[in-house]
Chains A and B, each alone.
Chain A
């Protein structure tokens, strides 16, 4: 199957403007410019393309929410890739940047946007500067900027660098940040697509990098062909799976949606390192429920619907794999530290909840946990769910609730034995991967 997103695997140097255009690049944009905006939206809608940032919201539907009557509209590309275990968009930006630019411009035409802003996480410093060059090449080729390809439609693409804040991947926080404010989520409604809710108060589509990179293919080949890629009506197309953790071949894999965990981990990822057995999977980075890697789970198809059936979410498909020696309590503590650091501080439940979860987990990891601590953790976590302005509160509560539910023995081992020697010694340390570092030094906010 040809790669739709990672085309550099089939066409070397496709990141170069000339190579891209010689290989069908910008044909989607040219075709779209000959259609009406509504026709473009309808084609994307018909393809059932779903947002690849994690939420899986239907892309065409999102575009159709934009009120056409408003004179000023924007497209914002979410390239703030920051979820633990996610590194797919970076590869697109590095190797197939014009397809993203093209997809973003098709979206801009469909909603008649004035400008496109690509919001990159600050750590993509080098990438952003290279991307500026690619945009310039597209402008020189008259495929971006004024009067694109003689169509009368004008739209410029700009990059904007964040500066190290996970929360800016949340769309309303991203918009705040782009406006030069603290990256903190907004109260909704109004939603970004509505007047008053988007960038500078104007209706705005915020789409993930991978989502928009699918769009040129859909416009060129049609919605029917897109759905035929994997024959799945609800989760069509390919997906990039970011595979990391205890696997022999970590990396990004573009595969048809519907591949199983087993195929991904053992066929593509080369199995578990050091010939160990698999213990657990985080299918969606740090923010989704952790799964016990049972046969049922391993045979689960990676689609939005199927992963929910086994108790987690597909999210951004950042599959973190853990082997049999991994101490899941340590995993919970790691993830909790992440969310404690990344909580923006706006909502009390998330700010205080992550702080206290971290404190209690630190105590447990030091071998000083109390028998009541598990109940205490569950109580804190449950009080964070569904009560915050954005999903970070839930994201922070999820892993801890599910690590306790799915791996109770790992927690009991720390609390019941209260053995400092257990705490001091990781369960096993086959090089190069120490894990279960119970006595990890406290990691404060940086």
Chain B
């Protein structure tokens, strides 16, 4: 339950706005942070906290692309393939990344680590190809740099579960 675990953050969030409803988007982020995606239970929690109907909360979660309504990989890789990035090779980079990880658009690798999808402009057009991983930007990429990053993330996961770090 986010109500207990995030009590401090939630009260600070409510204090920002004269209307409880404004907290719905920050609360949805907390649900996503807690469960990895916006779960049906999470929707109900947000609805109760904001005095809204769960259907209303669901419509909001569905409208905005940064809320995920299904489980994603541990690393959610969102590649910008919009015009300005595409002019600098982003489409090709996106394709190579999918091939490298052997996933379809929007798919997740078998080990559950990486989800790859394309997104619209991320306001980093001068540093393309770029992507956003779990809301952090990685810029001026090519596949060589990307492989280093992927390895780094795999190692982080392995370290977290106590596995020996593979090179």
Q: Which residues of A contact B (CB under 8 A)?
A: 81-87, 89-90, 121-126, 158, 160-166, 177-183, 200, 242-246, 250-252, 282, 286, 318, 320, 322, 326, 331, 334-335, 338, 341-342, 344, 431-435, 437, 440-441, 443-444, 446
Contacts and interface: CB of A to CB of B under 8 A. Distances in A.
B23 A180 contact: yes
Nearest to A125: B135
B20 to A, nearest CB: 8
15 contacts: A85-B83, A85-B125, A86-B125, A126-B136, A160-B16, A163-B28, A165-B64, A179-B22, A182-B60, A244-B87, A245-B125, A250-B88, A334-B83, A338-B121, A437-B91
A126 B125 CA distance: 18
A164 B135 CA distance: 11
A443 to B, nearest CB: 6
A437 B132 CA distance: 23
A182 B59 contact: yes
Contacts of B105: 441, 443-444
Interface residues of B, number: 51
A335 B117 CA distance: 18
Contacts of A243: 126
B87 A90 contact: no
B82 A338 contact: yes
Contacts of A200: 18-19
A278 to B, nearest CB: 12
A384 to B, nearest CB: 19
B124 interface: yes
Interface of B: 16-19, 21-26, 28-29, 50, 52, 59-60, 63-67, 81-84, 86-89, 91-92, 95, 105-106, 117-128, 132, 135-137, 142
From A160, A180, A250, A252, residue with most partner B Cβ within 10 Å? A180
A243 B126 CA distance: 7
Contact of B66 (A86, A123, A251, A434): A123
Given A84-B82, A244-B88, A441-B95, 9 more contacts: A123-B66, A125-B135, A158-B16, A163-B29, A183-B63, A243-B126, A434-B91, A437-B86, A443-B105
Contact of A165 (B50, B65, B95, B124): B65
Contacts of B19: 179-180, 200
Nearest to B129: A432
